[in-house]
Chains A and B, each alone.
Chain A
């Protein structure tokens, strides 16, 4: 109670000091939420690429395609438990939108592959694509929201761009399922089956090739899986064995891909949080200044408290508590404002593809409020030590 009273004693000064912390924590919360959202995407990539080996056409190939027969060859390599061909297309060709992540994509794959990936996909509505069916699609949460689709609706894929050429072709798909949010790539994916993927691949080929290439015999890439729980090192060794034993393909080392993701994450998180932390430290310096002023104003009070039995620890504790209180109040206000801005931005102003830019996590909450608290306490250490070190005889007679 006395702590609150002491802080309230100089309302304007306290308001300005708390504002410094508030702005710092606000920056930390929003920048942190941006980094957390980015990291969630990265984590998805790390999880996916860290649990499979991506196999594609070798370097220098004339086209990014490989024979589908390679699937059987890959399955014979030691350590390979499963291999699935896949096709990937831009869902909105010719349209550029700023977004984190891979953007809207059409993914054609075997539904059985869902059971092998590290990212477990579950259904918010509907179900998986029916075996042997055609023209069905399962949408990730973000893409479903972007196109305002629910189960039973239809969607034309790829989406026709405004400046589409006359020969542009797309197909109508029926939405049979909508996935729960993963906060990573699958949120912006439209999943179709292999046969439909081959159809889209054929559409994408130049005219003369359409009749000469049997798309059922080629694939853009093959995802290779080892048994669940296989280490990244072992997956690297499997990739090496594939490159040694299977001609006409190139397996990427999962660790290279994962490290690339992680490096990007570290740089982004570092830049985003460093800017916020600098703002917060400046706020912390204002707490130091305020607390030194408080000590200077209360020299006689400190002398009196020592005279009536306060120990050095008591006096230090009182000033530290006051500085920490300023940090906590600033932290809570900054965090509250930050969450408010993030929620408004996510709900009312999502990205063009429907995805959100910010993610508030429990970790971020603890860091934002915890850092403000620790900063407040740390900022109070020197002033509190000065207060506790005062000679009571001199302090009591201070004018």
Chain B
């Protein structure tokens, strides 16, 4: 069953009289539990696709289904609720709140999903799973880049979403830390059957995903199973 379905999804921007086709008629299915890497050059539409999947952007045309819900039918409030319950985000720059400690940062999405009591236990469990139990009261400034990204990954999962979107999550850490983060993601993907869509420039990272979608000029250039080399569509 498809967890995410894009049907002729298009996002155009206007810059003066010029129309920028950031995403141009993308159609694809991503099944539940898949680990997908989206690659491509700068300006290929990777980030736009991620923003559309995360309901941060509205498409110019086409349809996007998440868990079989047609997101085009949703109002702003319902889109926010979808983000709170079904989508997790991880960013290159971590985006942790400096005034909050590790636990509070991980618990931040609970505030908007109204899931406080059960969520706290899940936040503590996730912090343990990402290996930061001994840093639970630490502030972001007291953590390394890798540790901050682990906190961001725990935060993305605290509401038990079905889809996690990662935008260059290893872009600000060294190679060894990047590999540790990917190992963590693979483990969470396997254990929780959460769908992961990861945007990256790093071929070492994208090569470890089970599926790799290459974009060019807003279109899908290739869509293949990595290792198997068998096109998906």
Q: Which residues of A contact B (CB under 8 A)?
A: 2, 5-6, 9, 300-301, 303-314, 392-393, 396
Residue in A closest to B81 when the chains form the complex, CB atoms:
A309
For residue B83, which residues in chain A have a CB less than 8 angstroms away from its CB?
306-309
For residue B155, which residues in chain A have a CB less than 8 angstroms away from its CB?
308
Q: Is B51 part of the contact surface with A, judged by Cβ < 8 Å?
A: yes
A6 to B100, CA, bound (A): 10
The contact of A305 among B56, B76, B85, B108, by CB within 8 Å, is B108
Chain B 101-117 interface residues, beta-carbon cutoff 8 Å to A: 108-109, 111-113
For residue B113, which residues in chain A have a CB less than 8 angstroms away from its CB?
309
The contact of A309 among B84, B99, B100, by CB within 8 Å, is B84
A310 to B108, CA, bound (A): 10
Contact with A along B89-132 (1 / 0, CB 8 A): 10100010101100000001101110000000000000000000
**Chain A nearest CB: distance from B85 CB in Å?**
7
For residue A303, which residues in chain B have a CB less than 8 angstroms away from its CB?
95
Residue in A closest to B108 when the chains form the complex, CB atoms:
A308
7 intermolecular pairs with C-beta atoms under 8 Å apart: A306-B56, A306-B80, A307-B56, A310-B112, A312-B76, A314-B112, A393-B56
Residue in A closest to B82 when the chains form the complex, CB atoms:
A309
Known contacts A309-B112, A310-B111; can you find 19 more A-B pairs with CB under 8 A? A2-B99, A2-B100, A304-B89, A304-B95, A305-B108, A306-B80, A307-B54, A307-B83, A308-B84, A308-B112, A309-B109, A309-B159, A310-B112, A311-B76, A311-B112, A312-B76, A314-B80, A393-B56, A393-B57
The contact of B51 among A304, A310, A393, by CB within 8 Å, is A393
B76, A300: Cβ atoms under 8 Å? no
For residue A304, which residues in chain B have a CB less than 8 angstroms away from its CB?
89, 91, 95, 97, 108
For residue A301, which residues in chain B have a CB less than 8 angstroms away from its CB?
97
Interface centre among B77, B80, B159 (most CB of A within 10 A): B80
**Chain A nearest CB: distance from B92 CB in Å?**
10
User: Which 10 A-B pairs have CB atoms at the shortest separation, nearest pair first?
Assistant: A309-B84, A309-B112, A308-B109, A311-B80, A304-B95, A309-B83, A307-B89, A310-B112, A392-B56, A5-B99
A313 to B56, CA, bound (A): 16
With A393-B56, A393-B57, A396-B91: A309-B97 Cβ-Cβ less than 8 Å: no
Residue in A closest to B86 when the chains form the complex, CB atoms:
A309
**Chain A nearest CB: distance from B97 CB in Å?**
6
With A314-B112, A392-B56, A393-B57: A309-B95 Cβ-Cβ less than 8 Å: no
Contact with A along B175-202 (1 / 0, CB 8 A): 0000000000000000000000000000
A299 to B218, CA, bound (A): 28
Chain B 58-98 interface residues, beta-carbon cutoff 8 Å to A: 76-77, 80-81, 83-85, 88-89, 91, 95, 97
The contact of B95 among A5, A300, A311, A393, by CB within 8 Å, is A300
A304 to B83, CA, bound (A): 11
With A305-B108, A305-B112, A393-B56: A311-B99 Cβ-Cβ less than 8 Å: no
B56, A309: Cβ atoms under 8 Å? no
A234 to B153, CA, bound (A): 81
Residue in B closest to A300 when the chains form the complex, CB atoms:
B95
For residue A313, which residues in chain B have a CB less than 8 angstroms away from its CB?
77
For residue B99, which residues in chain A have a CB less than 8 angstroms away from its CB?
2, 5-6, 9
A393 to B51, CA, bound (A): 7
The contact of B89 among A6, A308, A310, A311, by CB within 8 Å, is A308
A314 to B51, CA, bound (A): 21
A305 to B84, CA, bound (A): 10
For residue B100, which residues in chain A have a CB less than 8 angstroms away from its CB?
2
A9 to B91, CA, bound (A): 24
For residue A312, which residues in chain B have a CB less than 8 angstroms away from its CB?
76-77, 80
**Chain A nearest CB: distance from B82 CB in Å?**
8
A312 to B85, CA, bound (A): 17
A309 to B88, CA, bound (A): 9
**Chain B nearest CB: distance from A2 CB in Å?**
7
A303 to B56, CA, bound (A): 10
A310, B57: Cβ atoms under 8 Å? no
**Chain B nearest CB: distance from A385 CB in Å?**
15
Residue in A closest to B54 when the chains form the complex, CB atoms:
A307
**Chain B nearest CB: distance from A8 CB in Å?**
9
**Chain A nearest CB: distance from B13 CB in Å?**
11
For residue B91, which residues in chain A have a CB less than 8 angstroms away from its CB?
304, 396
